[in-house]
Structure 1
Amino acid sequence: MAVITPLQYEPAFDIAKAVIAGGFNRSRAIEVMADSGFGHASAAFYLNALLTMPSGDAYKKTISNSAARYYLQRFMDEMTAVEFSAVLLSVEAHIRYYNAQGVGKQRALAKILVEFQSQADEHYGQVLSNTVSKTHVEPAAVDQVFNEGATSTIELTIHEREPAALMRVSHILG
């Protein structure tokens, strides 16, 4: 998997802003991002995350933690407290979505989220905790490891072909 660098993910923020403003459609934005070194799939994932974050909804594909940190800082610098609360909710929803998939945990992203929740309170001069849940991603809880689920045994039956029949078929069919 290729590493997404700041030279790729930083301009993506402004490209997403251009999509929101109507300057690009999604297809053109993905092409511009691909020209900067993104693969097309990665460009689509990052663009979707950037366009989804202000809505407060979960984005479904993971972006790098360094990109998430950069995007959170840019959003905080450019948004009102209410708008930024939606971005924080989006990241929280992404963490919940990803963790529910059972393929891994977003511990580092959860720590970044807690960090930005605290920074936002200071940045905006008000507590955003009434709009953003801080309970399930506190750093102490993030470091805990939970082993869930029971062991399951799966029985598998494999039907092998008769070697002589297999040779005859391959001789006939080529």
Structure 2
Amino acid sequence: MKITREMIEKSYEYAKKVYHKQIDKTSAANNLYKEVGMHQGSASHYIGAFCSMMQGEKYTRTINTEATRYYLENIHKDYGVEQLRIALKAVNQHIDYYGKLGKGKLRSIEKLLNEYKTQLGTRGAR
């Protein structure tokens, strides 16, 4: 099933709630399924990716480029530039992890990361 823009936006809202301990991950995933038809497994991966971004930690399940862009834009808007830098570190670690799996590269996400690095200057994401 294709992940829609509506699913991305709603998953971001629920991921924030999970991150701030306002709801548990399973309930959030179930709500995403009920509200926008997002499969619970996908919902769980998207929520996990957000939480990893907020902590600057590698995530191992890929979210699509549109979702990555939406999450980064909104982390910047909601939490500021320093939190964005932390999130970019997580994205960078995810790209490195995925590249080492031998399944190819995440070219569109790499391009997105490089856009942010350029916007933020050389201190960007590494």
Do the structures match in fold with TM over 0.5?
yes
3-state SS in 1 of match to 2:61? coil
Q: Which consecutive unaligned segments of at least 5 residues does structure 2 have?
A: none
What does residue 53 of structure 2 align with? 53
Regions of 4+ moved over 3 Å: none
Asked whether 1:82 is paired with 2:82, we answer yes
Deviation of the 1:54 alpha carbon: 1.0
What does residue 39 of structure 1 align with? 39
Q: Which has the larger radius of gyration?
A: 1
C-alpha offsets along residues 94-147 of structure 1, whole Å, 9 cap, x if unaligned? 00000000011101100011112223x2xxxxx4x33623xxxxxxxxxxxxxx
Q: Which amino acid aligns with 1:117?
A: K
TM-score normalized by the length of structure 1: 0.68
CA contact (8 A) 2:117 2:123 kept: no
What does residue 125 of structure 2 align with? 132
Give the whole-Å Cα distance in 2 for the aligned partners of 1:104 and 1:34. Answer: 30
Asked whether 1:29 is paired with 2:28, we answer yes
Give the whole-Å Cα distance in 2 for the aligned partners of 1:7 and 1:81. Answer: 25
Number of aligned residue pairs: give it.
125
Give the whole-Å Cα distance in 1 for the aligned partners of 2:125 and 2:108. Answer: 18
C-alpha offsets along residues 4-50 of structure 1, whole Å, 9 cap, x if unaligned? 00011111111111112222111111111112111111111111101
- The alignment's C-alpha RMSD in Å is 1.3
Q: Which amino acid aligns with 2:39?
A: G
CA contact (8 A) 1:69 1:112 kept: yes
Q: Which amino acid aligns with 2:113?
A: L
Give the whole-Å Cα distance in 1 for the aligned partners of 2:95 and 2:5. Answer: 22
Taking a change above 3 Å as real, the CA distance of residues 131 and 115 of structure 1, as seen in their structure-2 partners, is closer
Q: Which amino acid aligns with 1:20?
A: Y
Give the whole-Å Cα distance in 2 for the aligned partners of 1:116 and 1:3. Answer: 26
Taking a change above 3 Å as real, the CA distance of residues 49 and 130 of structure 1, as seen in their structure-2 partners, is same
CA contact (8 A) 2:56 2:90 kept: yes
What does residue 152 of structure 1 align with? none
TM-score normalized by the length of structure 2: 0.92
Q: Percent identity?
A: 29
Which protein has greater RCO, CA pairs closer than 8 Å, 6+ apart? 2
Q: Which consecutive unaligned segments of at least 5 residues does structure 1 have?
A: 122-126, 134-174
Give the whole-Å Cα distance in 1 for the aligned partners of 2:77 and 2:45. Answer: 23
